[in-house]
């Protein structure tokens, strides 16, 4: 996705914008730009690639940089159009009077673009954002008021957006709008700031207003006015930001767990940053220290982990075996350490841990390290014990996870394993998977937007959670690459709600667990379009025949099959291969809302700790 920064005051805007963007680089890395306003004109500067390239451009523009005290900036994660200077933000209208930066995705941009072309708009880029720039400018032509133009335009836009806009005819203000994308207003003395996240402005102010969905704001250097969707001026709620706010603040969420679930779109972007450049480029995994020749000699992979990390490893097994053609064993660390260690120099051992301090996994890694195997560690803590044991360290950089129940760290581990699988395949030069890998890369690029789309439509999940919160037992079923999703969904539910939940491979239901099924047993089935879809559907028929309450999580279901389910949760369309990354968000939310309805301590469930440092 993208990072936004804005400033209006009396200071040198260019310095504040570049500094802010430097703290938002985790949100994008392929291009950047700023717009500086002075004396009724707007100057736009852009550069492809890292932010340093934009800084170099600005060194030749000191005349305007030294005097401009208002501006907006942007750092981009490309979703529409290649990462080029033309596609970089800010975007302008044809008359160059209006300038816009945008975070999010406009779902109906093609329809809007067609209408605007018919109105005479000429498009320069391949982005959906330029559609918004022309649309708002078109509305301004009717209203001659930037606030009104923004309010009118956003009603026509479908999707997610955080907009930050300026117009030459109204030099004393910046207008912002938000729907399903983060945007905060930093409150200063004689100056104000706009940003996608706290790190961009924390050095300038400790006070902020969190813009809510459907709100539009007018930001001047000495005033902030925010209007709701009914154009009613609302009272500003200013919050104090502690210095480490990004680590310890719930950011308006009721629990850290819910906040961390909602961070997962950005977590995916962060993991992919610098590693997945485009579908056409090979995966860049500089942290992995085995040469191509040594990778070709790998005869076996062992994945060792515990709990949620173990489930990530189980999903990784499917994807690594598919693309790298290397057999993968996945084992709980606590079991691995009590049997003979069978490994050698041609064995790649992958240890996975959120904290990097999991005692069982540390012991297992030490045992296998003595066999001269290559040790790769996937962890959220690059300063941990496991990190120090690594031959190859793959930090997931998910940020501090406060809630005991892991959510965003699981997502980060999962995406890291996808990257590793593709990297191994490409280093081995297995050409028969080139098309599949290219398609997977494109889906990974699109994944953050799909996660955020899912997170903006949770009413159905909340209702289902309320409906089933009184049940004492729960079964999750799936097949193939989503079998680990069933296990992780069950774990999340039992961790924070204390409901006795169990995950099974759907084909195993008839080999014993089916005896548990009756009208008091909810069964949640994960069935995505793919090779196991029909088989899981048959297993659902078996459960329904035993009067079980049946919940379906799917990206597609034929009308003839909908009556089979008591409740359905639909996810955005996605391939079966990457579907675990969307399905798990549903299961995390379902567990969260059930626990919330039961009044449980979601962030600190009983008997659990974030880092398990005992065997």
Q: Count Cβ atoms below 10 Å from residue 191 Cβ, excluding itself.
A: 21
CA distance 504 to 483: 7
CA distances from 38 to 66, 244, 516 (A): 10, 34, 72
Point out the catalytic residue in the list 366, 428, 535, 610: 610
∠ CA 40-44-49 to the nearest 5 degrees? 165
Whether 119 is catalytic: no
Are the C-beta atoms of residues 161 and 129 closer than 8 Å to each other? no
Cβ–Cβ < 8 Å for 192, 219 = yes
- The single residue of 2, 65, 164, 540 carrying the catalytic annotation is 2
Across the chain, which distance is largest between two alpha carbons, in Å? 78
CB contact at 8 A, 507 and 539 = yes
What are the start-end ranges of the H helices in 40-95?
A: 51-58, 62-65
Question: Closest Cα partner for 329 from 579, 342, 436?
Answer: 342
**Tokens at residue 206, please?**
């400790």
> In residues, how long is the chain?
615
- Assign 239 to helix, strand or coil: strand
Q: CA nearest 408: which of 458, 443, 463, 455?
A: 455
* Cis peptide bond prior to 341, omega within 30° of 0: no
- Residue 376 near residue 384 (C-beta atoms within 8 A): no
Active-site residue, 535 included: no
Q: Please give the Cα distance from 135 to 116 (Å, whole number).
A: 7
Q: What are phi and psi of 306, to 5 degrees?
A: -135, 150
Q: How far is 97 from 105, CA to CA, in rounded Å?
A: 23
Active site residues: 2, 610
């Amino acid at each position: 996705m993208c990072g936004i920064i804005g400033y209006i005051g009396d200071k040198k805007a260019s310095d504040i914008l570049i500094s802010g963007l430097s703290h938002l680089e985790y949100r994008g890395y392929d291009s950047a730009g700023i717009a500086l306003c002075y004396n009724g004109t707007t100057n736009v500067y852009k550069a492809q690639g890292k932010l340093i390239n934009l800084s170099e451009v600005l060194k030749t523009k000191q005349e305007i940089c030294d005097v401009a005290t208002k501006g907006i900036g942007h750092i981009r994660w490309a979703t529409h159009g290649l990462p080029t200077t033309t596609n970089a933000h800010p975007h302008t209208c044809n008359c160059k009077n209006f300038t816009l930066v945008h975070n999010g995705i406009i779902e109906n941009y093609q329809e809007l673009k067609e209408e605007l072309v018919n109105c005479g708009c000429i498009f320069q880029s391949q982005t959906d954002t330029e559609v918004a720039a022309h649309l708002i400018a078109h509305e301004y032509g009717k209203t001659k008021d930037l606030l009104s133009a923004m309010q009118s335009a956003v009603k026509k836009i479908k999707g997610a957006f955080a907009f930050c806009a300026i117009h030459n005819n109204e030099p004393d203000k910046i207008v912002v709008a938000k729907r399903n994308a983060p945007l905060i207003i930093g409150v200063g003395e004689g100056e104000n700031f706009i940003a996608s996240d706290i790190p961009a402005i924390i050095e300038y102010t400790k006070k902020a207003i969190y813009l809510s969905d459907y709100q539009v704001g007018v930001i001047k250097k000495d005033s902030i006015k925010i209007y709701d969707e009914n154009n009613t001026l609302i009272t500003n709620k200013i919050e104090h930001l502690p210095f480490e706010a990004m680590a310890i603040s719930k950011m308006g969420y009721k629990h850290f767990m819910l906040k961390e679930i909602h961070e997962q779109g950005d977590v995916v972007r962060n993991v992919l940053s610098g590693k997945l450049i485009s579908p056409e480029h090979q995966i860049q995994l500089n942290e992995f220290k085995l040469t191509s020749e040594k990778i070709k000699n790998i005869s076996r992979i062992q994945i060792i982990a515990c709990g949620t990390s173990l489930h990530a490893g189980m999903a990784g097994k499917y994807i690594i075996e598919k693309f790298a053609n290397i057999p993968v064993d996945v084992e709980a660390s606590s079991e691995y350490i009590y049997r003979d260690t069978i490994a050698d120099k041609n064995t790649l051992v992958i240890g996975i841990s959120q904290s990097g301090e999991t005692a069982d996994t540390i012991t297992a890694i030490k045992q296998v390290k003595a066999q001269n195997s290559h040790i790769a560690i996937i962890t959220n803590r690059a300063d941990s014990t496991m990190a120090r044991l690594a031959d190859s360290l793959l930090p997931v950089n998910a940020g501090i996870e406060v809630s005991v129940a892991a959510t965003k760290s699981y997502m980060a581990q999962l995406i890291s394993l996808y990257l590793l699988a593709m990297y191994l395949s490409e280093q081995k030069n297995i050409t028969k998977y080139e098309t599949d890998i290219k398609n997977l890369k494109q889906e990974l690029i699109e994944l953050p937007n799909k996660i955020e789309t899912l997170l903006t439509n949770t009413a159905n999940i909340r209702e289902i959670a309320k409906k089933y919160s009184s049940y004492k037992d729960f079964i999750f079923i799936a097949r193939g690459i989503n079998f680990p999703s069933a296990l992780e969904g069950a774990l999340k539910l039992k961790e924070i709600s204390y409901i006795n939940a169990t995950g099974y491979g759907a084909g195993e239901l008839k080999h014993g667990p089916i005896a548990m099924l009756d009208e008091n047993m909810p069964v949640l089935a994960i069935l995505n379009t793919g090779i196991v879809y029909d088989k899981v559907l048959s297993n659902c028929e078996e459960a329904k025949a035993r009067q079980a309450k049946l919940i379906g999580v799917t990206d597609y279901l034929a009308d003839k099959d909908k009556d089979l389910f008591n409740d359905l949760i639909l996810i955005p369309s996605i391939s079966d291969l990457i579907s675990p990354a969307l399905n798990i968000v549903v299961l995390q939310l379902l567990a969260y809302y059930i626990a919330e309805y039961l009044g449980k301590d979601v962030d600190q469930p009983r008997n659990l700790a974030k880092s398990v440092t005992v065997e």
